[in-house]
Chains A and B, each alone.
Chain A
Amino acid sequence: MNAKGPSDKLIRGLTGDWEVVIGMEVHAQVASNAKLFSGASTEFGAAPNSHVSLVDAAMPGMLPVINEECVRQAIRTGLGLKAQINLRSVFDRKNYFYPDLPQGYQISQYKAPVVGEGEVVVDLDGGGSVTIGIERLHLEQDAGKSLHDRHPTMSYVDLNRSGVALMEIVSKPDLRSAEEAKAFITKLRSILRYLGTCDGDMEKGSLRADVNVSVRKPGEPLGTRCEIKNVNSIRFIGAAIEHEARRQIEIIEDGGIIEQETRLFDPGRGETRPMRSKEEAHDYRYFPDPDLLPLEFDQAYVDALAAHLPELPDARKARFVGGFGLSAYDAGVLVAERETADYFEAVAKGRDAKAAANWVINELFGRLNKEAKDIKASPVTAQQLGGLLDLIADGTISGKIAKDLFEILWTEGGDPRAIVTARGMAQVTDLGAIEKLVDEIAAQNPDKVAQARTNPKAIGWFVGQIMKSSGGKASPQAVNDILKSKLGL
């Protein structure tokens, strides 16, 4: 699967080709009603400081209590990443001062994370795929939010997010281009959403990534990396990597060296810039949190979670290819989102799966994209689209008429068969009526008849004429058959 060499991903510099090496730390907010160590709500968009418990505000004497649901979600995610699940893990304190960090430390997992090594298979646009290693997944608390624009001299702090559970998913430095990085985060997001362990909403900050980028000449040891913090869209991840790789190559080619540092991506200017210098580098003084016992569960608990895991994108794609005979590409498109795949399966059930795939991918997706609608908001239900396919399959309507019907379903709704009947959209399959039309047109156009006899391809002209005069309702199959026999082809 990793057959592709690095050659097609290299970046040309003045001194030759460069290879980009990328690793990602993805912060995924755990889908849970309550925070990691307190009962406060995780609901998004509430008034500032309305979802803050005594624990979240780090009042004196407060103690954290682990939310089992968050542990369950982390284990399920680990299983989805085909990763090692650690039956014993430890919560540590990461100490630093910041106003939106009330305890003065973040509870995280440092030396003993709940999930160990795993992998994600990433399909690439040009076909083929790469397997990206997962180093680890650990649970940690999110910080609050500092608001610097509400007061001329003061900053405000909103602690609603303080203590919300995050999964930090760390990839191995296996990515070699911005495209691969984008495909990786897309696939990871898809897995998380299938599992229901993270809603993957990057606009709300539910999923964000720290991207580690370094460059080297192919075959050489790893270069010094820079970490681009908190990139919150897939497009920005790509742009940040492109810019950062170029920046590093230019520095090295100018005889400079790369300083290990933390940088921020500025989407407005499309560039990265330093966040804090090395002198300010933190010593986080990690140590095991004495308020929390080690996190322990048994294999039976893990097995029970594994038994109830939903079908994940890779398995579903394989089933769509093997069971439905779809192309790998179409199957990939359909399984990217769980809702889309569900929709497709509802349409395809008991019907021609390839036709269903064509309609979902070309007509439905096209229309949804045009109107920037989510599949969940699709005006045409899977049941309606299935009804439309049934009408094509039993010869009631032609493919062309079906597109008109789709438009009606989209804008007006209704039962497909009832619409076809009410509006006289059924195709003409009365052979006598079609024969009559053929005879008429042949009589009026003897030159075309002669032409068709020497060049059978000219039959298309007759088909067009007949469809036109039937208002598109003549069955194309019947028209063809009759034409061929009448013209003696």
Chain B
Amino acid sequence: MSELTSLTLADARDGLRQKDFSAVELADAHLLAMEKARALNAYVLETPERALAMAKAADARIALGKAGPLEGIPLAVKDLFCTEAVRTTACSHILDNFVPTYDSTVTSQLWRDGAVLLGKTNNDEFAMGSSNETSYFGPVTSPWRRKGANTRLTPGGSSGGSAAAVAAHLCLGATGTDTGGSIRQPAAFTGTVGIKPTYGRVSRWGIVAFASSLDQAGPFTRTVRDAAILLRSMAGHDDKDTTCADLPVPDYEAAVGRSVKGLRIGVPKEYRLDGMPAEIEKIWEQGRAWLKAAGAELVEVSLPHTKYALPAYYIVAPAEASSNLARYDGVRYGLRETGSDIREMYEKTRAAGFGAEVRRRIMIGTYVLSAGYYDAYYLRAQKVRTLIKRDFEQVFDAGVHAILTPATPSAAFGLGEKGGADPVEMYLNDIFTVTVNMAGLPGIAVPAGLDGQGLPLGLQLIGRPFDEETLFATAEVIEQSAGRFTPKPWW
């Protein structure tokens, strides 16, 4: 890891403005690191020529004193975001060689602010997975290893490539998407910061849809401040997404360093699971102590419908996915297998194009929406969702500013270790994160320490709708107390 790739995004921004180094030098350093780290499989597409051209243009703007907020900052983009003239596949065979003619709203805002694209990162196919193992391009290997072992570990998923790239210093920040925990769980597994903003804070336009009512994009970075900087560029109203809120975007960076004195932080009793590893309980307790020491008031709260969140999520998300993925039919773009008639063409294309987990979720979604089952499953899940939302509303109405929970029920696991026999084993990874998507709330994962095997553990803070600022302020207190965690390069 060179000096330039070890900078925080904020430091790199300041260094570029002071002309300590150029955007081209910064991009070069990262491209070199990416080349050396191909064993991690974090990127599914590297775009060196584009990166250097964008960096050159950034240098020119810096020279003219016209630097944007992210001028010259090299970023990685999850392969779920459409990028103009750059292959976008959602890591699915069915979108083989699909090259969009458009940029997602998020990426176009990043380029507007001067950012540089290094490449597209690996993810679970259509963001369906918690270990990055469902990717058509194969799994990402985490830059982290257990002490004294070389077992290949998962960086988490679905945004595994983005998390690994940030942790391994292969970019200064990356975009992710989070439908049930796909930003926060990989952030926790890789010792990085990841925030899923409030539903409607970031435009979904141009992001390959998984479950429209749950999907939300957010950043991965190595510090809380960096996440605040990146989210400001990603967020904002978009006429092209009617679910996107028409609210001004605050200067999130200004919230970093804000005191948490007097804030009421809720600790939900329902998140204390039977059989939860002692280390998770310990880090949670540690987090409470840090916040208390910083002047926050810790209160026990109850979110009684928590236990229904995961089953309800696995009805709502596949239902929406089964419909969202119907457009991948071989007719207009992507993979097409030949068939003797249209029906056979559909069947062969979709059988060949989708992986096992995606097919499973399409089947579940199709089933729960079927006539005769809709009321029992989908409608009931939506009712549960309303109850989950109400749980949070009641807690916030009682004066709680944010809620502190573990981010994941365990540290990172080995590739191939989970979900082989029973997919539910894998789904349980999202137990602390899905409720936040179901309620549409913002949630941030922040590194809090290492477990006995030397693997990162994260804490999650859940905020009031559109109050990402309190999350940044509170997360920074944890970051200051816990310190930062960087994997030792072995690749």
Residues of A within 8 A of B (CB): 54, 57-66, 93, 95, 97, 99, 102-105, 155, 157, 283, 285-287, 290-293
Asked if residues A66 and B98 are in contact (CB atoms below 8 Å), the reply is no
CB distance from B315 to the nearest CB of A (A): 11
Is B151 an interface position by the 8 A CB rule? no
Q: Which of B333-372 touch A at CB < 8 Å?
A: 333, 342, 346, 366, 369-371
Cβ contacts under 8 Å, B8 to chain A: none
Asked if residues B243 and A62 are in contact (CB atoms below 8 Å), the reply is no
Inter-chain pairs besides A104-B329, A155-B342, A292-B242, 11 sampled, C-beta below 8 Å: A57-B332, A59-B100, A59-B333, A60-B90, A61-B209, A64-B242, A99-B329, A287-B374, A290-B212, A290-B213, A291-B209
Asked if residues B326 and A105 are in contact (CB atoms below 8 Å), the reply is yes
**A65-B240, A95-B369, A97-B346 in contact; A287/B378 too (CB < 8 A)?**
yes
Is B88 an interface position by the 8 A CB rule? yes
* CB-based closest 8 A-B pairs: A104-B326, A285-B369, A290-B212, A290-B213, A61-B206, A58-B327, A60-B208, A99-B331
Interface residue count for B (Cβ, 8 Å)? 43
CB distance from A146 to the nearest CB of B (A): 9
CB distance from A280 to the nearest CB of B (A): 11
Is B211 an interface position by the 8 A CB rule? yes
Cβ contacts under 8 Å, B100 to chain A: 59-61
Cβ contacts under 8 Å, A66 to chain B: 242
Is B192 an interface position by the 8 A CB rule? no
Cβ contacts under 8 Å, B91 to chain A: none
Cβ contacts under 8 Å, A285 to chain B: 322-323, 366, 369-371, 374
Contact pick for A61, options B104, B239, B329, CB 8 Å: B104
Asked if residues B82 and A61 are in contact (CB atoms below 8 Å), the reply is yes
CB distance from A165 to the nearest CB of B (A): 16
Asked if residues A62 and B370 are in contact (CB atoms below 8 Å), the reply is no
Asked if residues A60 and B327 are in contact (CB atoms below 8 Å), the reply is yes
Cβ contacts under 8 Å, B213 to chain A: 290
CB distance from B363 to the nearest CB of A (A): 12
CB distance from B168 to the nearest CB of A (A): 28
Q: Which of B395-420 touch A at CB < 8 Å?
A: none
Cβ contacts under 8 Å, B204 to chain A: 61, 63
SS of B interface (majority): loop
State in angstroms the CA–CA spacing of A155 and B342 once bound together.
9
CB distance from B284 to the nearest CB of A (A): 33
**A60-B82, A61-B204 in contact; A291/B329 too (CB < 8 A)?**
no
Asked if residues A60 and B95 are in contact (CB atoms below 8 Å), the reply is yes
Is B319 an interface position by the 8 A CB rule? yes
Asked if residues B205 and A63 are in contact (CB atoms below 8 Å), the reply is yes
**Cβ-closest chain A residue relative to B206:** A61
CB distance from A52 to the nearest CB of B (A): 10
State in angstroms the CA–CA spacing of A66 and B329 once bound together.
25
Contact pick for B320, options A97, A283, A290, CB 8 Å: A290
CB distance from B200 to the nearest CB of A (A): 10
Asked if residues A293 and B323 are in contact (CB atoms below 8 Å), the reply is no
State in angstroms the CA–CA spacing of A54 and B84 once bound together.
13
Asked if residues A95 and B82 are in contact (CB atoms below 8 Å), the reply is no
- The 0/1 profile, CB within 8 Å of A marked 1, for residues 228-250 of chain B is 00000000000111110000000
Asked if residues A97 and B98 are in contact (CB atoms below 8 Å), the reply is no
CB distance from A220 to the nearest CB of B (A): 29
State in angstroms the CA–CA spacing of A293 and B213 once bound together.
10
Asked if residues B333 and A291 are in contact (CB atoms below 8 Å), the reply is no
State in angstroms the CA–CA spacing of A104 and B95 once bound together.
16
Residues of B within 8 A of A (CB): 81-82, 88, 90, 95, 98, 100-102, 104, 204-209, 211-213, 239-243, 319-320, 322-323, 325-327, 329, 331-333, 342, 346, 366, 369-371, 374, 378
Cβ contacts under 8 Å, B205 to chain A: 61-63
Contact pick for B88, options A57, A60, A283, CB 8 Å: A60
Contact pick for B242, options A54, A65, A155, CB 8 Å: A65
Asked if residues B323 and A105 are in contact (CB atoms below 8 Å), the reply is yes
State in angstroms the CA–CA spacing of A61 and B238 once bound together.
14
CB distance from A151 to the nearest CB of B (A): 14
Cβ contacts under 8 Å, A286 to chain B: 369, 374
**Cβ-closest chain A residue relative to B209:** A61
Asked if residues B240 and A291 are in contact (CB atoms below 8 Å), the reply is no
Cβ contacts under 8 Å, B82 to chain A: 59-61
State in angstroms the CA–CA spacing of A57 and B327 once bound together.
9
Cβ contacts under 8 Å, A99 to chain B: 329, 331, 342
Asked if residues A95 and B326 are in contact (CB atoms below 8 Å), the reply is yes
Asked if residues B332 and A283 are in contact (CB atoms below 8 Å), the reply is no
CB distance from A12 to the nearest CB of B (A): 40
Cβ contacts under 8 Å, A57 to chain B: 332
**Cβ-closest chain B residue relative to A284:** B371
CB distance from A99 to the nearest CB of B (A): 5
CB distance from B217 to the nearest CB of A (A): 11
Asked if residues B369 and A61 are in contact (CB atoms below 8 Å), the reply is no
Cβ contacts under 8 Å, B346 to chain A: 97
Asked if residues A293 and B329 are in contact (CB atoms below 8 Å), the reply is no
CB distance from B273 to the nearest CB of A (A): 30
Asked if residues A291 and B374 are in contact (CB atoms below 8 Å), the reply is no
Asked if residues B242 and A63 are in contact (CB atoms below 8 Å), the reply is yes
Q: What are 20 residue pairs bridging A and B, where the CB atoms are less than 8 Å apart in the complex?
A: A60-B88, A60-B95, A60-B327, A61-B204, A63-B240, A65-B241, A65-B242, A66-B242, A95-B369, A97-B329, A102-B331, A103-B327, A104-B327, A104-B329, A283-B371, A286-B369, A287-B319, A287-B369, A287-B374, A292-B243
CB distance from A129 to the nearest CB of B (A): 39
Cβ contacts under 8 Å, A103 to chain B: 326-327
Cβ contacts under 8 Å, B207 to chain A: 61
> Chain A CB within 10 Å — which of B207, B209, B331, B332 has the most?
B331
State in angstroms the CA–CA spacing of A467 and B333 once bound together.
81
**Cβ-closest chain A residue relative to B200:** A293
Cβ contacts under 8 Å, A105 to chain B: 323, 326
CB distance from A91 to the nearest CB of B (A): 10
Cβ contacts under 8 Å, B243 to chain A: 290-293
Asked if residues B241 and A54 are in contact (CB atoms below 8 Å), the reply is no
Asked if residues B242 and A290 are in contact (CB atoms below 8 Å), the reply is no
**Cβ-closest chain B residue relative to A60:** B208
State in angstroms the CA–CA spacing of A61 and B78 once bound together.
14
State in angstroms the CA–CA spacing of A210 and B329 once bound together.
28
Asked if residues A102 and B327 are in contact (CB atoms below 8 Å), the reply is yes
> Chain B CB within 10 Å — which of A95, A102, A104, A292 has the most?
A104
Asked if residues B319 and A65 are in contact (CB atoms below 8 Å), the reply is no
State in angstroms the CA–CA spacing of A283 and B367 once bound together.
11
Contact pick for B332, options A63, A65, A102, A291, CB 8 Å: A102
Cβ contacts under 8 Å, B101 to chain A: 54
CB distance from B205 to the nearest CB of A (A): 5
Cβ contacts under 8 Å, B104 to chain A: 61
Cβ contacts under 8 Å, A283 to chain B: 370-371
**Cβ-closest chain A residue relative to B350:** A97
State in angstroms the CA–CA spacing of A285 and B95 once bound together.
25
State in angstroms the CA–CA spacing of A63 and B90 once bound together.
17
CB distance from A111 to the nearest CB of B (A): 11
CB distance from B472 to the nearest CB of A (A): 27
CB distance from B303 to the nearest CB of A (A): 23
State in angstroms the CA–CA spacing of A295 and B158 once bound together.
33
**A54-B102, A60-B208, A285-B369 in contact; A65/B239 too (CB < 8 A)?**
yes
